[in-house]
Amino acid sequence: MTTALSLDARQQDAVDADPMLALAIMGACGTGKSTALWARRDRVAALHPDAGILSIAHPQELGSVAQEVLAHAGMQIEPIDDIDAAALFAHGARDLFALEWSEILAGEIDPEVPGLRSPQRFLESSFRLIRKLRGALIEPDDFLARARAGATEFYANPPNFAHPDLLYATKDAYRNSLDVAPRELERQYAREVDLAKILARLYELYIDHTLARGRMTARDAIAHAVTNLKRDQGVLDRMRARYRFAFVDEAQESTLGERTLLELLFPSLAGVTLAGDPRGATSTFKGARPDVVFKNIAQSIELCEPHRRAGRPPATLFRAKDEAEEARTIANRVAERIAQGTQPNEIALIFRSVADVHRYEEALLDAGVAVAVAGDVNIFADRRALDALAALWCLWDPFRHDWLLRLLAGRAINCSDATLARLCSEPPDAQAALFQLDEEAAPTARSGRWDPRRDIRLGWNVLRGDQDAALGETSRARIATLRAQRERWLAAMPELPLGALIRMVWGDVLACDGSPGSARAQTQQLILRRLFDRLRAFAKQRPHTTLGDALQYAQTRMESDLESCEPDVDDGFVHLLSVDAARGREFSYVVVPDARAGSFPRWYVPDAFLFSPTLGMIPKENAGDARASRTAKFSYYLYRAKTREAYNAEERRAFEYALARSRGEVLVSASGRATRGTTAPEFLEELRRP
């Protein structure tokens, strides 16, 4: 239902619409969908003060509702994120990589399948696929059945691999994948079916592990909750009595599982209000289904007029000769804005990804601007966090020499290269004990058998002072101070809670990054607070956690590509955000840096294997005795599904979303020479066109 009303009138229509109907509030970025959604919620709450209301700022938050469902069903679960889930998944795959599966031993599955030659890459690709299957509520048996059916249909009736359009769309390096004879297609079919069997088995093991341990991501919890609601009418009735209305923002990012959960809790979606832009989803390659989420809605109101401003914000375009010049220019303009009176937290640099934005952060810090990075950034891999972890490792296990070297070379102790070389040398007295005798107590807090093959040189030279005589006076004093501090930490360890122990260690050996009160010092304190909160939260979930457990947790997180950090609300910081972390936020001044092909937008790099509900598995690697490196099916699917074009279209939507986060001005920047935009578009250059 759409009528030609002004913005305010249309928003009021959304607020006043019958609360018992399913309503979709739709519109592009900046049209006031969220404002109307929450105003409608407040009105419904006033009209029905005793009714249960769900307020969901992002569809992923439905995971907490799924936990309630499982609790009613007698299942107490521990929420985990994708890093812990990936560890569970890897645990279930151990026997596969040891080739100890009964199916492999019996010859039912050929382990020479696409991707398995690189076990880590295979695990990562498999886990990404299973996350999507979980979000789409496709169970292992269903997945295998679809994969078999898709393979049979495709190879029984192969397309014309010599079609000119297909040949033209395929890169020269991969055109030999289309030169296939029936015998080769038969071989690829067998490999594909075996791959599907392996993935289905891994999927089953993953589900078994999540159930046995009661540890689930929001995606897992939703899938289990849907299953429970469908088979247990009592749980369904209790949940329907618990909630009468639901308000969901960013609905275009919903998965099929999230939509299904809503439909079960709210028949015909009565009482549900969705807000979002069906044409603006930025997570379709992660499983979002905007085509499904907004179907069968009783009433829809589309907001067409800008709400925060009049039209698109004015954009200043800048292309630097190199990355360093781009970062300096951005930092100078941000500093000028702050000098003119703009509050730092009203300024944001929005990237497609903040996994590697160090040059921008450093340029801002050099300009005296404190920064807070949020999104897909790994807090445990930050240099300031690594310095803090190195201090804790010195207490727990000083024979982790990689960490001890970092501590010694850091700002607090500041050993020179010559000093470090001396500390790593043999003791001057050839008779000095290099190894710990069996009867001696290990000077370390870690448990486990003493390992004399590892615990030599640097650790002993620091702990016992075997090389002190060879050190300079300043270095010798600093090492002696560290030795005394560590003895004090060890004495306090049994009595102090983990949080207090961490504060003691950091207070003793961490040097201020920059002068006190400077932008660098403020940013360092923010990083340390984030790290401390994460370690303390980990310990809180496990009552008997040791410092070693917390450090191992940090090590696992540091090595993961799935780590992320929630945005802070601190005043005094300019925000460096990924597009996802900027959701629902707005700023006076927005910078979209690095708007060049390969960064924003990112390159499209297909996974090791894809899945289509109709075609089944689409493996990229042509495993086994093959002449071409890619499978014929993969080359055909990229052409038919136009995956690169769809990917670039999603990146463009993310770019538009980033621009729309400003209620004032926007600066878009890039560096180097622009490409022709054939493989990935050049967004900055597109803005130059009339």
Q: pLDDT digits over 343-397, tens only?
A: 999 999 999 999 999 999 999 999 999 999 999 999 999 999 999 999 999 999 9
- When pLDDT is cut at 50, 70 and 90, the band that residue 50 belongs to is very high
Find the radius of gyration of the CA atoms of the chain.
29
Structure tokens that stand for 4 in this block = 């030609």
Structure tokens that stand for 58 in this block = 């992002």
- When pLDDT is cut at 50, 70 and 90, the band that residue 29 belongs to is confident
Q: Tell me what the mean pLDDT of segment 194-218 comes to.
A: 92
Inside any domain, residue 623: no
- Based on the fold, state whether residues 126 and 205 are members of the same structural domain: yes
% of the chain exceeding 90 in pLDDT: 67
- Based on the fold, state whether residues 536 and 666 are members of the same structural domain: no
Inside any domain, residue 353: yes
The one-character DSSP state at 56 is E
Structure tokens that stand for 248 in this block = 């969901």
- Based on the fold, state whether residues 433 and 548 are members of the same structural domain: yes
Residues ≥6 apart with Cβ < 8 Å to 414: 478
Q: Is the pLDDT of residue 632 over 90?
A: yes
Q: Is the pLDDT of residue 690 over 70?
A: no
Stretch (H or E) spanning 663: strand 662-671
Of the candidates 460, 534, 547, the residue with the CA atom closest to the CA atom of residue 498:
547
What is the overall mean pLDDT for the chain? 88
Where a domain ends, among 149, 183, 216?
216
- Based on the fold, state whether residues 277 and 334 are members of the same structural domain: no
SS3 breakdown of the chain: % helix, strand, coil, rounded to 5? 50, 10, 35
Structure tokens that stand for 110 in this block = 């050929």
Residue 158, pLDDT score:
94
Residue 84, pLDDT score:
92
- Based on the fold, state whether residues 292 and 281 are members of the same structural domain: yes
Inside any domain, residue 581: yes
- Based on the fold, state whether residues 143 and 154 are members of the same structural domain: yes
Residue 506, pLDDT score:
96
Q: What is the CATH number of the domain that holds 435?
A: 1.10.486.10
Q: Which residue has the tokens 């991969």?
A: 174
Inside any domain, residue 671: yes
Whole-angstrom Cα distance, residue 53 to residue 239? 12
Residue 98, pLDDT score:
62
- When pLDDT is cut at 50, 70 and 90, the band that residue 194 belongs to is confident
Q: Is the pLDDT of residue 52 over 70?
A: yes
Inside any domain, residue 633: no
Q: What is the CATH number of the domain that holds 69?
A: 3.40.50.300
Residue 431, pLDDT score:
53
> How many domains, the chain?
4
Of the candidates 78, 65, 131, 122, the residue with the CA atom closest to the CA atom of residue 562:
131
CA dihedral 359, 361, 366, 367 (to 10 degrees): 120
Strand partners, 576: 349, 373
Rounded to the nearest 5°, which phi and psi values hold at 611? -140, 135
Peptide bond into 601 cis (omega under 30): yes
- Based on the fold, state whether residues 86 and 195 are members of the same structural domain: yes
- Based on the fold, state whether residues 374 and 456 are members of the same structural domain: no
Whole-angstrom Cα distance, residue 627 to residue 9? 65
Q: Tell me what the mean pLDDT of segment 602-607 comes to.
A: 91
Q: Tell me what the mean pLDDT of segment 391-414 comes to.
A: 93
Where a domain ends, among 216, 238, 263?
216
- Based on the fold, state whether residues 72 and 89 are members of the same structural domain: no
Where a domain ends, among 279, 303, 327?
303
What confidence tens digit (pLDDT) does each residue in 88-133 have?
Answer: 998 888 766 665 556 554 556 566 666 666 778 888 999 999 999 9
CA 453 from centre of chain:
38
Residues 98 and 105: beta-carbon distance below 8 Å: no
Q: Is the pLDDT of residue 446 over 90?
A: no
- Based on the fold, state whether residues 416 and 549 are members of the same structural domain: yes
- Based on the fold, state whether residues 108 and 221 are members of the same structural domain: no
Residues 639 and 166: beta-carbon distance below 8 Å: yes
What confidence tens digit (pLDDT) does each residue in 505-543 have?
Answer: 999 999 999 899 999 999 999 999 999 999 999 998 888
CA 129 from centre of chain:
15
Structure tokens that stand for 298 in this block = 């009783």
Inside any domain, residue 277: yes
Inside any domain, residue 241: yes
Residues 289 and 256: beta-carbon distance below 8 Å: yes
- pTM value is 0.88
Inside any domain, residue 274: yes
Structure tokens that stand for 322 in this block = 């190199």
Q: Is the pLDDT of residue 3 over 50?
A: no
Residue 425, pLDDT score:
84
Stretch (H or E) spanning 373: strand 371-374
- Based on the fold, state whether residues 361 and 389 are members of the same structural domain: no
Q: Is the pLDDT of residue 5 over 50?
A: no
Domain containing 196 equals 81-216
